[in-house]
């Protein structure tokens, strides 16, 4: 194990989070495509710890279920430890130590972090661990200088720059409250010394809790060195306690994500109205227009343009494709394709190169071949369309018989006339045509013209006889030329 690799990271996530006023666990509130806890775990994982431990308490069934689903594939897998009653941050870490190491604590470094600090970057935690090792400290505290330190634990320094103690806001004197350097809530500890010191933490304080912060003074009293890593970026160290702070953190995180994309060559026309999740990827020269949201594992290829006003989730956009005012979820859009405005691409949509999907078109489980066009007012559900075909305006792939969904196949270079109902399951062969207004219920052979509609019958003079005196009848009479004859 390398010197900088911690034995464990312990994430504290058992608190009640009362100020969120929510049925959802505080740490499961989402920002930029992940719950708060997910961001904290991602930062923790950047340290490559031996074990990753999450202390759970309030709404633990939600948190444990989330860990089992969303974090099942990650390494190391987070291990939940239950804290039955919330006896304070020191109590929470003690429970984890007792459960996982019989109270002894592992040899090596143990990092402890609050679960409600979604902006904290892995790099900052790594720097904390590096300083901890380099200074040979028993404990190293991540600190910053807050413009307003109200509510935070204050850092009391010795003359030599080491840390003497952390005093909680509620327990601090006026002089101590004037200190602007605060405890962020992230620490690197010597594992064995931490375990030993936790046994001596009392509840003799304003909240009647076991404070993790008291460990600093205890280790100091034992003659060990306590240090601090002071970070200048106080914004990144902010915690989230209510939905106002959640929105502020989301804005910050979004800004950081957009900045990284812009530095990598993506054009973002209006950062203020653009929201991009943390797992979205984009290649250089992609362009994102105003009012666009990119979620999940969406990817933009080189030169792809998305927006304005588009929301894409788990959608792949090929190089040079154009997607305007579109909602897409689980779709693949081929290179140089053109989608929208006002298109809705649902799961299983796969558009090949140069496909055109126009206004008011909805697609689902639909494969559309190279260069094919679905330009206007159409539903394509459970269908396969070949290359070079055109689906006329206002056509519907009628896929649902009321009980089951069926699939239709349209070949290459097919011309489906406007307002064709393609009643699945049905196959329209290569090069075939359908007449406008047809209801296709049988297969159409390649190259055939399918006409499936009533023959037109004109009843001459019907309006003048049956609707006499109406403007229509007058117009008909004028058109007949009898006006001039009289
Ligand atoms: C804590 C620090 C304070 C620091 C601040 C930074 C202590 C005593 N104080 O204060 O110095 O400035 O964080 O945000 O540690 N938790 C549990 N079990 C418990 C209690 C808390 O898991 O029994 C978890 C909470 O869910 C939260 C974290 O620990 O994620 C911090 O708890 P919180 O009550 O918010 O501590 P603060 O009073 O903010
Ligand atoms: Ca807090």
Taking only the tens place, the pLDDT of each residue in 199-211 is: 999 999 999 999 9
Ligand 1 atom nearest to CA at 56: 22
β-pairing, 299-300 with 8-13?
Answer: unpaired
CA 308 to chain centre: 19
What residue owns the CA closest to ligand 1's atom 1? Answer: 185
pLDDT at 481: 86
Using left for φ > 0, alpha for ψ between -120 and 50, and beta otherwise, residue 223 falls in left
pLDDT at 3: 55
Ligand 1 atom nearest to CA at 83: 18
Mean pLDDT of the chain: 96
Among all bound ligands, the one having the nearest atom to the CA of 152 is 1
Name which residue leads in pLDDT, 482 or 458: 458
Mean pLDDT of all residues in 240-247: 96
The pTM of this model reads: 0.93
pLDDT at 268: 98
pLDDT at 134: 97
Ligand 1 atom nearest to CA at 16: 26
Q: Is 117 in the active site?
A: no
pLDDT at 1: 40
Among all bound ligands, the one having the nearest atom to the CA of 112 is 1
What residue owns the CA closest to ligand 1's atom 39? Answer: 152
Question: How many angstroms is it from 241 CA to the middle of ligand 2?
Answer: 6
pLDDT digits (tens, 9 = 90+) for 135-186: 999 999 999 999 999 999 999 999 999 999 999 999 999 999 999 999 999 9
What residue owns the CA closest to ligand 1's atom 31? Answer: 114
% of the chain exceeding 90 in pLDDT: 95
pLDDT at 483: 67
pLDDT digits (tens, 9 = 90+) for 6-61: 999 999 999 999 999 999 999 999 999 999 999 999 999 999 999 999 999 999 99
pLDDT at 196: 96
Residue 451 has pLDDT above 90, yes or no: yes
Who's near 323: CB < 8 A, 6+ residues apart? 304, 305, 306, 307, 310, 312, 317, 333, 339, 340
3-class state of residue 399 by DSSP: coil
Residue 2 has pLDDT above 60, yes or no: no
Q: Is 177 exposed, middle or buried (0-12, 13-18, 19+ CB in 10 A)?
A: middle
| Ligand 1, pocket-test mutation among 114, 176, 217, 241, most atoms within 8 A of CB | 114
**Closest CA relative to residue 94, chosen from 82, 85, 103, 86:** 103
Question: How many angstroms is it from 55 CA to the middle of ligand 2?
Answer: 15
Token couple for 26? 């505080």
What residue owns the CA closest to ligand 1's atom 34? Answer: 15
* 101 confidence band (pLDDT: 50, 70, 90): very high
**Cα gap 118→31, rounded to integer Å:** 8
Mean pLDDT of all residues in 236-251: 96
* 484 confidence band (pLDDT: 50, 70, 90): low
* 486 confidence band (pLDDT: 50, 70, 90): low
Neighbours of 182 (CB within 10 A): 24
Ligand 1: residues with CB < 6 A are: 12-15, 55, 57, 83, 86-89, 91-92, 114-116, 152-153, 166, 168, 182-185, 211-213, 239
| Ligand 1, pocket-test mutation among 9, 141, 167, 185, most atoms within 8 A of CB | 185
Task: Catalytic residue, from 58, 169, 224, 376: name it.
Answer: 376
Mean pLDDT of all residues in 63-91: 95
Cβ(135)–Cβ(160) under 8 Å? no
Mean pLDDT of all residues in 454-467: 96
Cβ(452)–Cβ(439) under 8 Å? yes
* 103 confidence band (pLDDT: 50, 70, 90): confident
Token couple for 134? 């380099």
Element (H, E) at 133: helix 122-135
Among all bound ligands, the one having the nearest atom to the CA of 166 is 1
pLDDT at 105: 84
pLDDT at 395: 98
Mean pLDDT of all residues in 293-317: 98
pLDDT digits (tens, 9 = 90+) for 369-423: 999 999 999 999 999 999 999 999 999 999 999 999 999 999 999 999 999 999 9
């Amino acid at each position: 194990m390398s010197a900088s690799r911690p034995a464990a990271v312990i994430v504290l996530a058992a608190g009640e989070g009362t100020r969120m006023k929510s049925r959802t666990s505080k740490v499961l509130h989402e920002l930029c495509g992940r719950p708060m806890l997910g961001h904290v775990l991602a930062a923790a994982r950047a340290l490559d710890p031996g074990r990753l431990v999450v202390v759970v308490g309030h709404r633990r069934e939600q948190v444990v279920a989330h860990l089992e689903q969303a974090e099942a594939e990650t390494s190391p897998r987070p291990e939940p430890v239950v804290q039955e009653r919330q006896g304070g941050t020191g109590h929470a870490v003690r429970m984890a130590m007792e459960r996982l190491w019989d109270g002894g604590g592992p040899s090596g470094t143990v990092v402890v972090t609050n679960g409600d600090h979604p902006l904290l970057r892995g790099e900052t935690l790594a720097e904390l661990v590096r300083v901890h090792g380099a200074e040979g400290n028993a404990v190293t505290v991540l600190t910053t200088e807050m413009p307003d330190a109200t509510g935070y634990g204050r850092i009391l320094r010795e003359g030599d720059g080491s840390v003497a103690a952390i005093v909680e806001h509620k327990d601090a004197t006026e002089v101590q409250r004037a200190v602007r350097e605060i405890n962020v809530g992230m620490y690197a500890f010597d594992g064995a010394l931490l375990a030993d010191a936790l046994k001596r933490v009392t509840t003799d304080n304003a909240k009647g809790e076991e404070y993790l912060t008291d460990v600093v003074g205890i280790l100091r009293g034992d003659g060990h060195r306590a240090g601090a890593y002071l970070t200048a970026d106080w914004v990144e160290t902010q915690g989230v306690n209510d939905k106002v702070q959640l929105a502020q953190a989301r804005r910050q995180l979004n800004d950081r994500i957009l900045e990284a994309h812009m530095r990598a060559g993506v054009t973002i026309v209006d950062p203020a109205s653009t929201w991009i999740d943390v797992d979205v990827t984009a290649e250089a020269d992609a362009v994102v227009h105003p009012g666009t949201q990119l979620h999940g594992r969406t990817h933009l290829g080189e030169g792809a343009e998305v927006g304005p006003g588009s929301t894409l989730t788990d959608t792949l956009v090929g190089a040079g494709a154009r997607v305007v005012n579109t909602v897409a979820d689980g779709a693949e859009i081929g290179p140089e394709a053109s989608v929208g405005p006002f298109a809705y691409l649902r799961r299983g949509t796969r558009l090949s190169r140069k496909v055109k999907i126009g206004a008011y078109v909805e697609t689902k489980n639909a494969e559309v071949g190279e260069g094919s066009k679905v330009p206007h007012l159409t539903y394509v559900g459970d269908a396969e369309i070949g290359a070079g075909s055109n689906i006329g305006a206002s056509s519907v792939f009628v896929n649902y018989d009321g009980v089951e969904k069926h699939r239709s196949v349209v070949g290459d270079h097919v011309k489906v006339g406007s307002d064709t109902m393609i009643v699945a399951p049905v196959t329209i062969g290569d090069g075939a045509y359908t007449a406008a207004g047809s209801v296709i219920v049988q297969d159409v052979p390649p190259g055939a013209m399918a006409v499936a509609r009533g023959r037109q019958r004109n009843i001459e003079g019907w309006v003048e006889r049956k609707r006499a005196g109406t403007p229509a009848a007058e117009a008909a009479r004028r058109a007949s030329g009898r006006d001039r004859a009289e």
